[in-house]
Structure 1
Amino acid sequence: MSQPLQVSAPLVDVQWLKSALGHPRLVVLDASWYLPDANRDGRAEFGERRIPGAQFFDFDKTIADTESDLPHMLPSPDVFEAEARKLGINRDSVVVCYDGAGIFSAPRAWWMLKVFGHDQVAVLDGGLPAWVAASCALETGTASTPVPGNFEAEVVPDRLAQLPDVISAVESGDRRIVDARGAARFAGEAPEPRPGLRSGHMPGAQNLPYSDVVADGHFRSVHELAELFAARGIKQGDNVIATCGSGVTASVLALAMESSGLGRASVYDGSWAEWGARDDLPIATGR
């Protein structure tokens, strides 16, 4: 690249990443994670094929609060900082995250880096399938060990929503809540995949299934994204909390909002895995 390496938007395309490969400030992260019913193993697939130079970002078992009963909750800043450094991330790194589904789990890694204060991070639109479709080079086998980085974690509070924030939003209505789960789960018409959770949604929440904001593994156009959010009463500058089953596809909505120019949404880390397990919290049903 003739220009200094930087990302000016939350999404980059295959051509951008292809031209940036090999730059000393670039860090590529494979953040593939799948629901159990997908019968796919992100780490195993990483060993079989990956974008050259990529490192595996395991937000499910490694870069997570391993003492929490909730799935892949954010780790402490100290843990995140240490794990990011192991991946070769520096304070001035430009990080690109991707996943094997196209757009599914990579936005979670993007959001985590944003929460811990890293600004130069983007998601590869279309992910590994788009990379393969463009006949770009692949790497296999054991990944090389990067030189440890000097990343420093500093929490950005307005990117993270926690249980008290969501309770306040439900009670006061001063923040919009948008739920990325499928319509049947949102309505309480389909059981939750995790045992022991009630069915339904947070009172006052709007439903925007994450699958609606993507098409063929790519995000929809800026205009289409803005229309989808507008149909839920969400406009530029609104104070929005994104939620889902466990904080993964909520990150897809947060990225969709930001990439369409609607502003920054916070993600409810515990999401329905936390809310649905609490008998003392209100729920609503219906579409």
Structure 2
Amino acid sequence: MLLRFLPKRTPSLGRFISARYMTSGSIFGDSCPLVVTPKQLYDLPSGSVTVLDASWHMPNSPRKAKEEFLSKRLPNAQFLDLDEVASPHELGLKHMIPSEETFAGACETLGITPQSHVVIYDSHGVFSSPRALFMFRAFGHERSSILNGGLPNWEAHGCQVETGEVKPSKKAKYPAPRLDNSIIRSYEQMISNAQHDPSEQSIAELVLDARSKGRYLGVDPEPRPGLSSGHMPHSLSLPFNAFLDTNTFKPSPDAAEVSYTTVRTSQEIIETLRDAVGDEKLKEIVEGKRGVVTSCGSGMTAGVLWLGLKLLGVDKVALYDESWTGYAMRESSPIVKSE
């Protein structure tokens, strides 16, 4: 285990994790950093990286990701539609992890080979790009990263963007990879896990819910009409934006401020995690004695929690693909509406 457990708010912990964060893989090696900065991406040699826009917006949002991509994007970027590169689901759920053949086919269309360094961004800053990164890593594509701060941070650093129609990528060869099912949880697995109280049973995985606290408690409605709010038994609330910082910049002196998110420092992430789970469970997590499952509304922002945990060196972390939508749509699911 690469992380060691230290007392609360020990400054050296942040320095220890930050050092690993900056050196976890070489951009040019077999494994790439989970997160790259605009400068790191800008400095990469031309043609050495494939850039993907994986922007996605909530179902009740008026924003259209593909239209925004055509109006402004990183140079030579391709659009990755997470709802299209997905497996069909019995409940009609969107952006479920695709089949091995679907993933390989999408990579071929996007001009990606197994050796490509893929850098993924979104227009929020950090929102849907971690989910796309999770998908690539789940299929063993270790040469993959997200751009910290996404498109807004790229612009805030004065980097150029392009507009208009996109030149199609040259079709590549991508043999169907093997999906790592050990980092994806099913409904049946979540029901089985919920039968064990993690305070008493060491075999239970700790479930972290990335939705807002109000939705977790059942006092605020879900954005999907008719879906009950609340949470799974024994799960803990950790809203995904707790791992993120909010930033602003002005594209021009007369323009309105643009708000966007970036990944917080490793010290801030681990303190936030400590506040959510407590000292004992934090120790179990970082020492690899207890697994973690991240969940959210539909499996999208659970990727942010997954990313934060991976940046801390946590190995035993999985994602509940259906997340709350799939769970609450089933009438037999036990739902808790209290702390």
What CA distance in whole angstroms lies between the structure 2 residues aligned with 1:259 and 1:129?
Answer: 22
1:212 to 216, 232, 242: 242
Where 2:315 maps in the other structure, the secondary structure is coil
Matched with 1:155 is 179
Stretch of structure 1 that moved more, 82-91 or 232-241 = 232-241
1:176 to 181, 194, 206: 206
The answer on 1:285 being equivalent to 2:337 is: yes
CA drift at 1:114: 1.2
Where 1:36 maps in the other structure, the secondary structure is coil
Matched with 1:65 is 87
What CA distance in whole angstroms lies between the structure 1 residues aligned with 2:122 and 2:306?
Answer: 17
Matched with 1:228 is 272
CA drift at 1:263: 2.9
Per-residue CA deviations over 1:172-218 (Å, capped at 9, x if unaligned) read 34101000000000000011111232220000001110111101211
CA drift at 1:9: 2.2
* Counterpart amino acid of residue 105 in structure 1: S
TM score, norm. by length of structure 1 = 0.94
What CA distance in whole angstroms lies between the structure 2 residues aligned with 1:102 and 1:170?
Answer: 33
Give the alignment of 1:1-287 within 5 angstroms.
5-6=28-29, 8-20=32-44, 22-24=46-48, 26-60=49-83, 62-66=84-88, 68=90, 69-152=92-175, 153-172=177-196, 173=198, 174-216=204-246, 217-231=261-275, 232=277, 233-234=281-282, 235-236=285-286, 237=288, 238-287=290-339
Where 1:28 maps in the other structure, the secondary structure is strand
Contact 1:196 1:277 in 2 (8 A): no
* Alignment: residue pair count: 283
What CA distance in whole angstroms lies between the structure 1 residues aligned with 2:267 and 2:295?
Answer: 22
Stretch of structure 1 that moved more, 127-136 or 143-152 = 143-152
* Counterpart amino acid of residue 219 in structure 2: E
What CA distance in whole angstroms lies between the structure 1 residues aligned with 2:50 and 2:87?
Answer: 23
Contact 2:89 2:96 in 1 (8 A): no
Stretch of structure 1 that moved more, 177-186 or 159-168 = 159-168
Contact 1:226 1:262 in 2 (8 A): no
Call closer, same or farther: CA 1:127–1:66 in 2, change over 3 Å.
Answer: same
Between structure 1 and structure 2, the one with the greater Rg is 2
Where 2:219 maps in the other structure, the secondary structure is coil
What CA distance in whole angstroms lies between the structure 2 residues aligned with 1:4 and 1:189?
Answer: 45
Call closer, same or farther: CA 1:92–1:133 in 2, change over 3 Å.
Answer: same
Runs (5+) with no aligned partner, structure 2: 1-25, 199-203, 247-260
What CA distance in whole angstroms lies between the structure 2 residues aligned with 1:249 and 1:21?
Answer: 31
Q: CA RMSD in A?
A: 1.6
What CA distance in whole angstroms lies between the structure 1 residues aligned with 2:187 and 2:173?
Answer: 32
Call closer, same or farther: CA 1:43–1:244 in 2, change over 3 Å.
Answer: same
What CA distance in whole angstroms lies between the structure 1 residues aligned with 2:184 and 2:146?
Answer: 19
What CA distance in whole angstroms lies between the structure 2 residues aligned with 1:115 and 1:4?
Answer: 19
What CA distance in whole angstroms lies between the structure 1 residues aligned with 2:294 and 2:172?
Answer: 31
Contact 1:47 1:143 in 2 (8 A): yes
What CA distance in whole angstroms lies between the structure 1 residues aligned with 2:155 and 2:312?
Answer: 26
TM score, norm. by length of structure 2 = 0.80
What CA distance in whole angstroms lies between the structure 2 residues aligned with 1:50 and 1:84?
Answer: 19
CA drift at 1:108: 1.0
Per-residue CA deviations over 1:118-140 (Å, capped at 9, x if unaligned) read 11111111111100001101111
Where 1:266 maps in the other structure, the secondary structure is strand
What CA distance in whole angstroms lies between the structure 2 residues aligned with 1:285 and 1:150?
Answer: 49
What CA distance in whole angstroms lies between the structure 2 residues aligned with 1:264 and 1:90?
Answer: 28
What CA distance in whole angstroms lies between the structure 2 residues aligned with 1:161 and 1:89?
Answer: 27
* Counterpart amino acid of residue 66 in structure 2: R
